[in-house]
Structure 1
């Protein structure tokens, strides 16, 4: 048994925010209340002055396994996730080969069972992620895909997208969408504007995202399918999503820590480490995303954890891949840039990283209750730390060297301590 003593327990589902003890036994939460210390416990965690919350859930990670494991693999990705306070992650399908068949899906899920945290996966919407022919949604659902996504590649064919949403609705699966029309992307990863000009590249227009968001919000309204707009980067996109939700569409949206923390200006200093799809955009866009988080238009915070090797990120900017790691800095970036600034309460922030992500894919997790699985994170919201090293195989983060608030002290998954801050 493990006793967590005197922590500030915040549960976004029930609204609990109280100094309590939590008793863990046989992988589950055996009790919530007040308990005396005794020798009966294998471990007593002193959590006074710290927050005890549901284990974080990230619905958007790239663990590069199979096929690109020099960047990351399921084991290293899971360790990075645990260090960041995550107890559940959802892998995207753009591996090599892609997760467009039960065999590859089974490989990911079986290897995930060996990890310290819960590793789930979506399956591809189209075969080979080519945007031409739909995968067998029913077969993939039976093989335990929890959703569908061609993340990394937009689905340009509107009729195919319409058919995909109709079929996904029939199967009860959510589709998560990467929204960038390549017709308006001259150079991916950097916003089209004065910064792209200064860097001597064409850049990607915000219009590339806005057009596809508007289309897919309209299709979601028509088909009544559940759609998640991934890594929203544009203020106008937020407005389209807000309107679709008002009209009754089952549209969800996620924001990444990089898009609410940085702008295109950071690419002038961070260069390739700030190159990401969709790009970091203007301060107006960043503020628009925060407004979307505040009013509930954007229900989820997800990292889009995208590891790349040092060699790849050291290439000239037009040849370096887009993407950045994010699992180990996400909680602290949210506390630093959303909670401490007064944009979100701690409970609202945590809801977007626990209960809401679980709801998107219909998972019975993301909350604290007696009898439920003991997936918890314990962190110190006031502890300041410097971003220096990672459990991930990769270190392509624009936040290296920054001091952030909010330090993960323990991550507990299925009743086991899978991460402990020993510094």
Structure 2
């Protein structure tokens, strides 16, 4: 019995030495094998392996030895891209993790649900409690978001206080102006804050009849790098804003491509009022969005928008190339919000990635006016990696299988 006991101890000791030696021989935490990598910043568009370690991209190469990784992802026949960045959402006080990781979004920007008075509470309730990286466009008008007439009266104090807060909080990426008219003074207050903080504004505007001149807006009030969202929106019931396309002639209005050449960033901001009658003629005329975003809310996820990958699928169906759709969902939004450490797979970059498939079949993509496009390809998220950790795995393509969800119950509050 004594000898058997010692033999068991020796066997366990030898086993622990073997496991320790195996662990020390591992160079990488995760290797993704055999996927088609699309990284627009670095002009990569081919089948490569991707190695991650310590929350960073470690190596992209044609063939990386799988034995060097603790965990291997078999992504043959799939695509790998930087984690998606949705720069227009309306989170309110809803935690985003249930909406983001399952469609490859690792960074989401709330567009105006907090201002300089309420941001501290938004940070505590949403930013600090989310595994998704949550950033914020600070509402420039003051007071909790109410819209409408509440946004007409902005002043110097709001601009200066908002800028001061933005400079003190890395989660703030700019200022949201939800404009109602009749003039552009609220935009000017947003720009004032933007000039102080050296940040962009995001404008959701034009709610006045008659419409104020968008040409004046683009040339005299907005700056290169400022963001015009809801580019393809029509709100017919209140005749709320000017449109990118003349609905009678189906011709794009020249002020839009002129502004884009000048450096204004045009964002999709799909929401519940996106219209093909704006998007299709504009794209046929060669006008494509700079950034793709959802305007995510409880209503839009159950209506025509659904999620980030559904919006991306719409633009793929309308003729935007796969590489350009990925760019408008990764590197371009990263630049727009001046977070250039995100949105790419350069060695040393934050290891935020999405593994996706392009499903083939017959898919319907529809919108609020009842128009439907039929496409034969659709984005489907296979895996999401945030900061080097697998946070979503649709079909268990990681080996060994992921244990993130058992470690501390990250998604329970």
Question: Is the alpha carbon distance of 1:420 and 1:385 closer, same or farther for their aligned partners in structure 2, counting shifts above 3 Å?
Answer: farther
Matched, 1:115 2:115: no
Match of residue 308 from structure 2: 330
Matched, 1:345 2:321: yes
Report the CA distance between 1:255 and its aligned residue: 1.6
C-alpha separation in 2, matches of 1:173 and 1:346: 29
Counterpart selection for 1:130 from 127, 151, 161: 151
Aligned CA-pair RMSD: 3.3
C-alpha separation in 1, matches of 2:339 and 2:274: 30
Counterpart selection for 1:174 from 200, 223, 230: 200
Larger strand share, 1 or 2? 2
Report the structure number with the largest CA radius of gyration. Answer: 2
C-alpha separation in 2, matches of 1:290 and 1:105: 37
Report the CA distance between 1:333 and its aligned residue: 4.0
Describe the superposition over 1:109-147 as per-residue Cα deviations: whole angstroms up to 9, x where unpaired.
343233222011111111225221242232221242211
Question: Is the alpha carbon distance of 1:371 and 1:350 closer, same or farther for their aligned partners in structure 2, counting shifts above 3 Å?
Answer: same
Match of residue 59 from structure 1: 87
Report the CA distance between 1:399 and its aligned residue: 11
Question: Is the alpha carbon distance of 1:147 and 1:414 closer, same or farther for their aligned partners in structure 2, counting shifts above 3 Å?
Answer: same
Report the CA distance between 1:284 and its aligned residue: 4.0
Task: Please give the TM-score of this superposition, normalised by the length of structure 2.
Answer: 0.72
Match of residue 302 from structure 1: 293
3-state secondary structure, aligned to 1:164: helix
Question: Is the alpha carbon distance of 1:113 and 1:3 closer, same or farther for their aligned partners in structure 2, counting shifts above 3 Å?
Answer: farther
Describe the superposition over 1:270-310 as per-residue Cα deviations: whole angstroms up to 9, x where unpaired.
xxxxxx3xx344x5423134347x545x21111111214xx
Do the aligned residues in 1 keep the contact of 2:35 with 2:78 (CA within 8 Å)? Answer: yes
C-alpha separation in 2, matches of 1:27 and 1:238: 45
Describe the superposition over 1:392-418 as per-residue Cα deviations: whole angstroms up to 9, x where unpaired.
xxxx9x999x99622100011111111
3-state secondary structure, aligned to 1:352: helix
Question: Is the alpha carbon distance of 1:280 and 1:180 closer, same or farther for their aligned partners in structure 2, counting shifts above 3 Å?
Answer: same
Matched, 1:232 2:231: yes
Report the CA distance between 1:36 and its aligned residue: 1.5
Match of residue 359 from structure 2: 382
C-alpha separation in 2, matches of 1:405 and 1:323: 17
C-alpha separation in 2, matches of 1:381 and 1:212: 41
3-state secondary structure, aligned to 1:183: coil
Unaligned runs of 5+ in 2: 1-28, 144-149, 233-242, 246-251, 397-413
Do the aligned residues in 2 keep the contact of 1:55 with 1:412 (CA within 8 Å)? Answer: yes
Describe the superposition over 1:12-67 as per-residue Cα deviations: whole angstroms up to 9, x where unpaired.
111101111111111111111121122x53321111110100111011001111xx
C-alpha separation in 2, matches of 1:340 and 1:168: 36
C-alpha separation in 1, matches of 2:315 and 2:301: 22
Report the CA distance between 1:329 and its aligned residue: 3.3
Unaligned runs of 5+ in 1: 66-72, 185-207, 259-275, 309-321, 388-395
Task: Please give the TM-score of this superposition, normalised by the length of structure 1.
Answer: 0.70
Do the aligned residues in 2 keep the contact of 1:374 with 1:413 (CA within 8 Å)? Answer: yes
